[in-house]
Amino acid sequence: MIGIPTATKQATVQLVLTRLATFLSSLKSTAEQLTDTERLTPILRRAFAKFLRGRTYPVALLVAGEGGMRAVNCRF
């Protein structure tokens, strides 16, 4: 962000933080009703949105179970 006015940087950061706060608030309000995989799916989708560019891929998730960690296939 070199050469970009401070006010523009502040507005960009504020927008990102507002969107993140909204996302976390919605996740928090529904988290108790969801399984581990259902909670992790929107988090991973959000985290990798820039790399996925709207595409969906099967993802192997590690989920804790009785036998330790195991791979679970999931679609975004």
Per-residue pLDDT of the chain (76 residues; tens, 9 = 90+): 567 788 888 999 999 999 999 999 998 888 888 888 788 888 888 888 888 777 766 555 444 455 554 555 555 4
pLDDT recorded at residue 14:
94
Write down the pLDDT at residue 60.
53
User: For residue 22, what pLDDT is reported?
Assistant: 93
Angle at 62 between CA 56 and CA 37, to 5 degrees: 60
DSSP the chain: -TTS-HHHHHHHHHHHHHHHHHHHHHHHHHGGGS-HHHHHHHHHHHHTHHHHTT---EEEEEEEETTEEEEEEEE-
